[in-house]
Chains A and B, each alone.
Chain A
């Protein structure tokens, strides 16, 4: 390599390293602050690695927000049930749209696609009133049901199903396999990559949802994590070490999920972009 090329490489790495640092500092600072004493928090130059680490900050969250663990459980429940429902409805609907012939199929599909373009804020208030009417306020149902089906997931899965050769369904039919059985024992296993991606995106968006939980829950025990975190400031005031500890609790599960599943998550996001 020529000197010029070497310098070029070095510059590229320097720029990327700078960028990565800017991306990481808020996360590192969040973690670092969460382990500092109230005194250390305000010391400048900042302490990046507090010794000894104040792990007690994490249990002190409970002094101000005793329901915080409950919110964690709520998030787990809402994200897991919601995702399972979203996958189930998407599998069934995508199968109908990709493999069955029925009256109104195309019209219905275009209606759903058009609905996808409408921002959710339009539906916020009518949906809130619907939840009130169903007497679902402050229940898991209110947090889960509106997201139990997603047009985007149906659409993505339908595309994937369409790519599975039709001969396969002919072969299965000739082999004596009925539609429902074919869907579960052939299509679903084949669509696993797509299903994993859809599930991950559903979990992430459910875990981080904020506006909807804010309006349909009242009691502290029904709050989801982002909501509990947002309201925690009102309860803990400006104890930044506690606020950051609570933030770490909210952020960490998704970061761990991302570390292990990043290939699928990135693939899913790329695919949605290439489709657009």
Chain B
């Protein structure tokens, strides 16, 4: 099922209690999502990426029907669902804190959406067991959520979201509450399950690495506005503005001023050279992480860049080094607007 968002806008009023005591002051309006248009294709996993407060979660809530947009349309397949309540949209949703019903067993948690749909018992049980097998929690069915680890709870949450066979799966920062190792494991799990079920999915995250690794497409947001929408690798290779360039990549892109432009070079695109070229400076910091060594180089003009060198390097702190970069790996931006310039 394709999902179309057309000019979606969501404005929040200031907090109601605050305004009660501040009669007369102008009502504070926050535009959380601003004229957002995009299409999510059937079977695709799309990431909504951006810093906190950028409107990505609000967009998800709008997709779920938990918020009503101020203006704009949401279309599922051919049907306009803008005015349809969450209860009737037939979507599955996974929350950051799992939002499992604490007083119900895992079994009953998964059965809950089917009970709401009044699915006959035998059929519901069959679906529940299938789903439990898919997310690998068959052995936990009679436990309460409080007795499960974070990763297990997330699996239950996914099973509950998928059991009613929704046409759209929404995931709201599903990995943020997990520790680093589990996060990696669950990331792969979510992708495996999504591909296996073949469901259209929207994945909200503030972690660019997560978005890069899991999704078919990334929608990058900032201050309620969609910045760039493309394949992960393309966002990495061709950021449309300074924000996109800086948000994607770890360690972050090096930004410098050159010829009246803002210029960005990713750390891995620098190479050591023998003579003075693109950048020259003294090594101010050096750390070896596994295979590579990360160095920070500071120029006489006090500009700093980070880059990787071979882990077996003999470079030391305070050594002077020259860095060069291939022209196609230099990203150029208009310093006033932040927009990308200079592409053919």
Contacts and interface: CB of A to CB of B under 8 A. Distances in A.
Nearest to B100: A171
Interface in B111-156: 112-113, 116-117
A176 B113 contact: yes
B64 A174 contact: yes
B91 interface: yes
B164 A186 contact: no
A107 B87 contact: no
Contact of B99 (A107, A167, A181): A167
Interface string A136-177: 000000000000000000000000000001011011111111
A11 B208 CA distance: 66
B291 interface: no
Contacts of A167: 95-97, 99
Contacts of B93: 170-171, 174
A170 B112 contact: no
Nearest to B66: A170
Size range of the chain A interface in the assembly:
10 to 19
A171 B164 contact: no
A119 interface: no
A173 B86 contact: yes
A170 B67 CA distance: 10
A9 interface: no
Interface residues of B, number: 32
A106 interface: yes
A175 B99 CA distance: 12
Contacts of B318: none
Contacts, number: 66
A126 interface: no
Nearest to B89: A174
Give the most central of B61, B91, B103, B161: most A CB within 10 Å.
B103
Given A170-B66, A170-B93, A176 B101 contact: no
Contact of A165 (B97, B116, B160): B97
Given A106-B16, A176-B117, A177-B116, A171 B99 contact: yes
A177 B89 CA distance: 12
Interface in B60-105: 61, 64-66, 85-93, 95-97, 99-103
User: Of B64, B86, B113, B164, which is in contact with the most chain A CB atoms at under 10 Å from its CB?
Assistant: B86
Nearest to B118: A176
Given A106-B16, A170-B64, A175 B113 contact: yes
A106 B20 contact: yes
26 contacts: A106-B17, A165-B99, A167-B97, A170-B64, A170-B66, A170-B86, A170-B95, A170-B99, A171-B100, A173-B64, A173-B66, A173-B85, A174-B66, A174-B86, A174-B89, A174-B92, A175-B112, A176-B117, A176-B164, A177-B87, A177-B112, A181-B116, A186-B101, A186-B103, A189-B103, A190-B102
Given A106-B16, A174-B66, A177-B87, 11 more contacts: A167-B96, A170-B61, A171-B160, A173-B65, A174-B64, A174-B161, A175-B112, A176-B113, A177-B112, A177-B116, A190-B103
